[in-house]
Amino acid sequence: MKKRFLLLGLILSCTVLAEPRGTGDLGLIIERAQGSVQIIEHSLHTSLAKITELGDLSHASVVFSRDQRYAYIFGRDGGLSKIDLLNDEIVKRIIQAGNSIGGAISQDGKLIAVSNYTPGGVKIFSSDNLELIADIPAEYESGKLSKTVGLVDAPNHHFVVSLFDVGEIWLINVKNPAKPVITKFKNIGKQPYDALLTPDGRYYMAGLFGEKGLALLDLWQPEKGVKHILADYGKNDEKLPVYKMPHLEGWTVTSDFVFIPAVGQHEVLVMDKHNWQLLKRIPVAGQPVFVMSQPDGRQIWVNFAFPDNQQVQIIDVKDLAVKKELKPGKAVLHMEFTPRGEQVWIAVRDDDQVVVYDTESFAEVARLPAEKPSGIFFSNRANKIGL
């Protein structure tokens, strides 16, 4: 009897120690060279676990389940991995294509869509078990398949994607995911290379590499077709070599302005959100890659392509001018704000560090070791449209 009481006491003790935890302050750091991720807690700047054997993460992106427990990682090698953030484990991993560029999770959280280069197209999977539900080849002529880019989730059970090789935007209705209904917008411009969805889910904007300007689709009025904006920007500017394409999901849309990285130029462009006209060209230190807003929209943080990728500049939205410059280290690749924006986490690849700054004082708060970090993704993304 005494042994039974001792055993019961140990069980109760373990139960008390194993306190449940939430997932709202968790996230992932991509370690691109190792094919691994760190699960982190941003409230205490803590690394909780490392998950390995995730394949080629050189261009990895992440989305989260509605309850923020699971992360879905899209690898460049076509890998799609489901990670349990609470149990620190891979739930399932599949190779769904030969070359993948990113993905999205549906409005209801039930579907995972993946954008593929090889073979070109979009595949849709169950978020529960990663079983294939629909395969949508991006076919445009004589069996030719286009690379697909800029895949986002949109309201009313839609995904939106751009076709790089043929210059089209496809609006994919997945109310019946086994039989998607596709609306195709053709001749939207040459070589759309990435895209964003405005935070309210209304406007889909694709950047064009093959010509000047942007392609704009109003999802409230898709029958009006795609509008070409900023077509005259930079026509007389010297063409510079493009060292790294801007990542457009890192563009910024505030209450009045749209901030856009200029392709190949040392500028951030400011557009009036109400009429899509260019308001200002802000000179910056190099070719911008990510142009990201704090959650309150007051400051815009900009990082740069090589050879200027050791620094970050901060634009004051009130003045539409650079107000601060930081040098976190060698090869700044990505930035992620905490949900309410009091801190920003910055991946510094060549220093094997993630640096955390206070966004009000610009003081360094913490450094975390990471092996060649690139993307940083926090679980609050689960509650945002188009990420």
Confidence of residue 237 (pLDDT cuts 50, 70, 90): low
Distance between CA atoms of residues 331 and 153, nearest Å: 30
* 218's tokens: 């109003």
Q: Is residue 205's pLDDT more than 50? A: yes
* 313's tokens: 């500049």
**Are 212 and 234 a contacting pair, CB within 8 Å?**
yes
Q: CB 9: neighbour CB atoms within 10 A?
A: 10
| Pairing between β-strand 168-173 and β-strand 299-304 as defined by DSSP bridges | unpaired
Say how far residue 61 (Cα) sits from the centre of its chain: 6
In a domain, 301, yes or no: no
In a domain, 216, yes or no: yes
In a domain, 2, yes or no: no
Confidence of residue 14 (pLDDT cuts 50, 70, 90): very low
In eight-state DSSP terms, residue 262 is P
For the segment 296-304, the average pLDDT, to the nearest whole number, is: 94
SS3 127: coil
Q: Which residue has the tokens 């109310």?
A: 175
Which of 380, 384, 234, 359 lies closest to 300 in space, CA to CA?
Answer: 359
Distance between CA atoms of residues 219 and 21, nearest Å: 38
For the segment 334-363, the average pLDDT, to the nearest whole number, is: 97
* Bridge partner residues of 218 (DSSP): 203
**What dihedral angle (degrees, nearest 10) is formed by the CA atoms of 367, 368, 369, 374?**
-100
**pLDDT above 90 coverage of the chain, percent:** 79
Confidence of residue 225 (pLDDT cuts 50, 70, 90): very high
Q: How many residues does the chain have?
A: 387
Q: Which residue has the tokens 């563009």?
A: 251
Distance between CA atoms of residues 366 and 371, nearest Å: 16
* 339's tokens: 């949900």
* 136's tokens: 């949508």
The CATH number covering residue 165 comes to 2.130.10.10
Q: Is residue 239's pLDDT more than 80? A: no
In a domain, 217, yes or no: yes
Confidence of residue 303 (pLDDT cuts 50, 70, 90): very high
Q: In what order do the strands lie in the sheet with 26-31?
A: 46-51, 36-41, 26-31, 373-378
Q: Is residue 78's pLDDT more than 60? A: yes
For the segment 316-338, the average pLDDT, to the nearest whole number, is: 96
Q: CB 2: neighbour CB atoms within 10 A?
A: 6
Q: Tell me the helix, strand and coil percentages in the chain, rounded to 5.
A: 10, 50, 45
What residue type is 23 in one-letter code?
Answer: T
Q: Which residue has the tokens 């998950």?
A: 51
Report the pLDDT value the prediction gives residue 45, as an integer from 0 to 100. Answer: 97
In a domain, 365, yes or no: no
Structural domain count of the chain? 1
In a domain, 115, yes or no: yes
Report the pLDDT value the prediction gives residue 247, as an integer from 0 to 100. Answer: 67
Among 18-22, 149-153, 305-309, the range scoring the smallest mean pLDDT is 18-22
Print the domain residue range for 137. Answer: 96-240
In a domain, 60, yes or no: no
- Determine phi and psi for 335, rounding to 5 degrees: -135, 145
Distance between CA atoms of residues 76 and 58, nearest Å: 6
Report the pLDDT value the prediction gives residue 266, as an integer from 0 to 100. Answer: 94
For the segment 356-381, the average pLDDT, to the nearest whole number, is: 97
Report the pLDDT value the prediction gives residue 235, as an integer from 0 to 100. Answer: 62
| Pairing between β-strand 332-337 and β-strand 343-348 as defined by DSSP bridges | antiparallel
Distance between CA atoms of residues 216 and 220, nearest Å: 12
**Are 267 and 286 a contacting pair, CB within 8 Å?**
no
In a domain, 201, yes or no: yes
Confidence of residue 8 (pLDDT cuts 50, 70, 90): very low
Confidence of residue 244 (pLDDT cuts 50, 70, 90): low
**pLDDT above 70 coverage of the chain, percent:** 91
Which of 64, 69, 65, 63 lies closest to 20 in space, CA to CA?
Answer: 69
Q: Is residue 334's pLDDT more than 90? A: yes
